[in-house]
Structure 1
Amino acid sequence: MEYQFKIQFGDTDAAGIVYYPNYYRYMDNATHAFFEQIGFPTQELLEKRYSIPLLEAHCNFFAPGYFHRIITVTTKVEELREKVFKLAHQFKDGETVIAQGYEVRAWVSLKGEKPKAQPIPEELKHKLQQYQIGG
């Protein structure tokens, strides 16, 4: 699944190069866009009292991202377990891979006294499997 955005000036340093923590925000944005594209928009999840909180994130950087460039983020499901999933994100400027990262997230119910991890619903699991690496 692909998500595109234009690098904003406020995301860069004085040389117009993306400041590295912004890639984590970009991954978060790509995850929410991914969920919307597969029919599980974040707004609806929250209305139904579910969430997909971040448990772990990592990013490797290969080339600079520059102000005003259009970046394409490709998101795939790297791992799918009962309550947890791992999304892999690849950032490209044209044909150049500028970064790769991943996020580990849980399917969580917000219906009780405190958030609690739940098994991923079958309908969502089926959608995620369609974008699984090697699947």
Structure 2
Amino acid sequence: MTKTSTLDIDVRFGHCDPAGIVFFPNFHRWMDAASLHFFMQCGVPPWREMTATNGIVGTPLLEHHTRFVKSVTYGQRITISTSIQEWRNKVFLQRHEIRRGEDLICESVETRAFVIRDPQDPQRLRAVPVPADIRAKCE
């Protein structure tokens, strides 16, 4: 069983296109924020602290699949519910459901990995096995 966190977003005029509909990249920006929020709600320190203790610099997005159901406009509040759908050796699948009240707006599954800087080339990132202590905090 995995934990679920929620993050509320108040949609503003600047989040929308000229038709008054949220511009779709904003959903991905909010889901990225919800990803970090999930880990922090589970007791995982911010990435800058993790970098200092175990070298992990974050969980970059490797792949995402999103299905949009309804539109959203400014003046509305949406809630992002985030959980881990599946743990694998070096990656995990993180699920986001975005709702406006009871209405499903969109749902997404992201593939992410915990990464460190490559010791041979610090400009490159390298995936590492999912840390057991982080996984335990999130289950």
Class of the TM-score when normalised by the shorter of the 2 chains = 0.7 to 0.9
| RMSD of equivalent CA atoms | 1.5
What is the aligned partner in structure 2 of residue 56 from structure 1?
63
Structure 2 residue 129 is matched with structure 1 residue 119 = yes
Which of 83, 86, 110 is equivalent to 1:79?
Answer: 86
Specify the alignment match of 1:133 in structure 2: none
The count of aligned residue pairs is: 129
3-state SS of 1:45 partner: helix
After TM superposition, give the deviation of residue 15 of structure 1 in Å.
2.8
Note closer, same or farther for the CA distance 1:65–1:45 as it changes in structure 2 (3 Å cut): farther
1:98 matched to which residue of 2?
Answer: 105
Query: What stretches of structure 1 of length at least 5 have no aligned partner?
Result: 131-135
Displacement of 1:35 in angstroms is 1.4
Please give the TM-score of this superposition, normalised by the length of structure 2. 0.85
Stretch deviating more after TM superposition (8-17 or 101-110) = 8-17
2:49 and 2:20 map into 1 onto residues whose CA distance is 36
Alpha-carbon distance in structure 1 between the residues aligned to 2:8 and 2:51: 24
Cα 1:111–1:39, aligned 2, differ >3 Å: closer, same or farther?
A: farther
Structure 2: gaps spanning 5 or more residues: none
TM-score between the two structures when normalised by the length of structure 1: 0.87
Post-superposition Cα deviations, 1:25-69, rounded to whole Å, max 9, x if no partner, equal 111011011111112223323444312111001211111111121
Identity %: 35
2:17 to 13, 32, 42: 13
